[in-house]
Amino acid sequence: MAVHHMMTNIFFFFFLCVTLLQFFINPAVSLPLCTDSRAPLPPKTPLVFCNYNGSSCCDSVDDSNIRKQFESMNVSQPACASLLKSILCSRCDPFSAELFTIKTVPRQVPVLCNSTVSSNSSQTNQATNNFCENVWETCQNVSVTNSPFSPLLQGQAPTPANTSNKLTDTWQSRSDFCNVVGGPSLQDSVCFNGEKVQINITTNSTKSPPSGMCLEKIGNGSYLDMAAHTDGSNRAFFSNQKGQIWLATLPEIGSGRGLDLDESNPFLDLTDEVYFDTQFGLMSIALHPNFAQNGRFFASFNCDKSKTPSCSGRCACNSDVDCDPSKLPSDSGAQPCRYQNVVAEYTVNGTTSSRASVIPVASPVETRRILTMGLPFTSHHGGHILFGPDDGYLYFMMGDGGGGDPYNFAQNKKSLLGKILRFDVDKIPSDSEIASRGLWGNYSIPSDNPYIEDKDLQPEIWALGFSNPWRCSFDAERPSYFMCADVGQDDFEEVDVITKNGNYGWRVYEGPTVYTPKQSPGGNTSVSSINPIFPVMGYKHSDINKNEGSASIAGGFFYRSTTDPCLYGSYLYGDLYAQEMWAGVETPKNSGNFTANNIAFTCAKDSPVPCTLVPGSSLPALGYLYSFGQDNNKDIYLLSSNGVYRVVPPSRCGYTCAYETRTTSPTTGTMPPTRGSNANIVKGSCKSLLVLLLLILVLAY
């Protein structure tokens, strides 16, 4: 009897374990996104046929085409016609990317809700809402010309054009039909129930906001960028503005050790090539996604063409963008476009066959110059590079060139300034391709870059309308959340969610308000001519404790570590000059709507490297906050002029977090929670449970 009860309990916990595992493994839905990877926007002209006049994936042309498609179907039965209209119009839904894509495979019709309970929040509490069943019961015997439910979904030959057919001509039963065009209405899944998709309208968490963020200082070095090693280890690369890069070992949280980094032995030294000054230097580093196998390493830096022979590229001020380099103001340097932005590739020990995971030295000789671009001014030249986690392409963040963007480069579709660029660095173009397409360097253009749809765009452009993007990141859990902080000019610092061909407004707008340029020799863009995507977070210069009147945003990451569970899911960012930090929370989840609040922070008293505090406060003296970093455990780092800091368990600073679990060691004090992702924690527990279950079965039988 005891064994029976024990077995019952074990099977219960096993069921719970599997349920939890499915919860953590199944990816959450992404933010509103259209099938072409663009952000939904309010249409300039109200839609007449489809009832999607808020944020929509359709414009008036799409609306008209959908109406023509509907009219060509010649549906005589009103109830069925109404359902089919709603299905056709679902292409306008802000979540159409989810509705029309299953495991990256595009669909002809949306996923129709096929369950007794729908995930759409407006339907969640209803007993039944099987939209797929409703479509079958209503339309199964109705003749439809050019039916959207193409037999191709079953791998059959397509129905000839203009041939009337019924659902029963193709499918034998409702279950056959819904197995093909329907999908389950589970939590964190998207399906169409005949209405505009509403997801997680209410927050599904009762977590209190964090009472504060605790930091430990692990190094005194001043670094501008950080990139985790792609081998999954506790190693990461750090780079400084002068042009040096090191491979460091990160200490375990709570170990009492500092950063293991030998400054006398850099991984890569580019100081002979890099021009270093207040606004210039080694801006960013990026590892090829397969770096552990191929050793390919990328650096973004500035050079001075008057000092370095290899520093020679086209001037971003040129006749193609109606700019005359000879008329540039004096702050551009003694020569037009004297200073250049460079993206270059290197390899470990100069060969791609070397094992990057075991040889910690790279050759300073470039294996490939990706891009060289002359800068019209001495500020706002961006320089951040990173690889997309899903597509493997290299993204390059380019500022407007500075000076308030007098030539309106950010809105000029023929200029690469004020843009986010997207390159394919795995495919080497021919010389003829570089020449014929007017490429700025040795890269190929991804086939889905937005110039395919917008012929006015330079092919490298992914998004436009930026002042100076300073630090971007992809969410580790939801890669469709591509976040960029954009430095303001006079009034506002912003955080944007980046989507394909999105126009983020500068210099028509600074943040959410219209901007009036002080000078505009390059002309202006009218407010009515663009459809800008406004920032999801940000702050006014007047709202922060400024240092000498300055403000400059530094973008960060979504916090995805288990170290501080009260920060989990928050987007962290800060200001270069002000001793202030923000945590942005998306409410409702997956809505794209964020609320950001100042977050208190201090330094742990048992920090491995002693923290200097701002006089008269508990704030660590960060100096200038240059960047944020993220390691393979998803822990977050602050890179400042005064050292390297890491977010640690809140209890080490006296902050309270109801979700923090910890053990106490008599020698080291409070220890951090279990490392690893939530999914890994559940997997480990499930593995232990399975072993226990098998052992009991052997003993019992």
pLDDT, tens digit, 9 for 90 and up, residues 481-515? 999 999 999 999 999 999 999 999 999 999 999 99
Give the integer Cα–Cα distance in Å for 272 and 304.
Answer: 11
84 lies in a domain?
yes
The whole domain housing 241 covers 225-569
Q: Is the pLDDT at 357 greater than 80, yes or no?
A: no
Highest mean pLDDT among 156-160, 168-172, 240-244, 358-362: 240-244
User: Which are the contacts of 579, defined by CB distance < 8 A and separation ≥ 6?
Assistant: 545, 614, 619, 622
- Mean pLDDT computed over 427-442: 91
Domain identity same for 7 and 140: no
500 lies in a domain?
yes
Domain identity same for 435 and 541: yes
Domain identity same for 15 and 118: no
326 lies in a domain?
yes
User: Which are the contacts of 388, defined by CB distance < 8 A and separation ≥ 6?
Assistant: 394, 395, 422, 474, 479, 482
Domain identity same for 166 and 229: no
- Tell me which of 546, 569, 592 is where a domain ends: 569
- pLDDT band for 330, please (50, 70, 90 cuts): low
Contact 309, 303 (CB under 8 A): no
Domain identity same for 247 and 308: yes
Token output for 452:
């395919």
Domain identity same for 404 and 532: yes
- pLDDT band for 258, please (50, 70, 90 cuts): very high
Domain identity same for 261 and 346: yes
Look at 43-52, 101-110, 426-435 and tell me which has the smallest mean pLDDT. Answer: 101-110
Residue 559 DSSP symbol: -
Provide the domain count of the chain. 3
User: Which are the contacts of 692, defined by CB distance < 8 A and separation ≥ 6?
Assistant: 10
What pLDDT sits at residue 53?
82
Domain identity same for 10 and 49: no
- Which pairs with CB-CB distance under 8 Å and at least 24 residues apart come from 596-601? 596/495, 596/537, 596/538, 596/539, 596/571, 597/209, 599/210, 599/212, 599/213, 599/572, 600/211, 600/212, 600/213, 600/655, 601/212, 601/213, 601/214, 601/215
What pLDDT sits at residue 151?
56
Domain identity same for 267 and 175: no
Domain identity same for 280 and 164: no
What pLDDT sits at residue 687?
44
Model pTM? 0.81
Query: Is residue 302 helix, strand or coil?
Result: strand
547 lies in a domain?
yes
CATH of the domain at 337: 2.120.10.30
**Alpha-helical runs (H) found in 376-516:** 431-437
pLDDT per position as a tens digit, 362-409: 778 899 999 999 999 999 999 999 999 999 999 999 999 988 999 999
- Tell me which of 183, 207, 242 is where a domain ends: 183
- pLDDT band for 331, please (50, 70, 90 cuts): low
Single-letter code of the amino acid located at 591: S
Look at 98-102, 271-275, 509-513 and tell me which has the smallest mean pLDDT. Answer: 98-102
What pLDDT sits at residue 105?
65
Closest alpha carbon to 223 in 649, 646, 650: 646
Q: Is the pLDDT at 695 greater than 90, yes or no?
A: no
662 lies in a domain?
no
20 lies in a domain?
yes
- Tell me which of 149, 183, 217 is where a domain ends: 183
Token output for 13:
């916990």
Domain identity same for 164 and 303: no
344 lies in a domain?
yes
486 lies in a domain?
yes
Q: Is the pLDDT at 680 greater than 60, yes or no?
A: no
Bin 63: left if φ > 0, else alpha if -120 < ψ < 50, else beta: alpha
What pLDDT sits at residue 129?
63
What pLDDT sits at residue 107?
81
Domain identity same for 171 and 288: no
Token output for 82:
């109404």
Q: Is the pLDDT at 55 greater than 80, yes or no?
A: yes
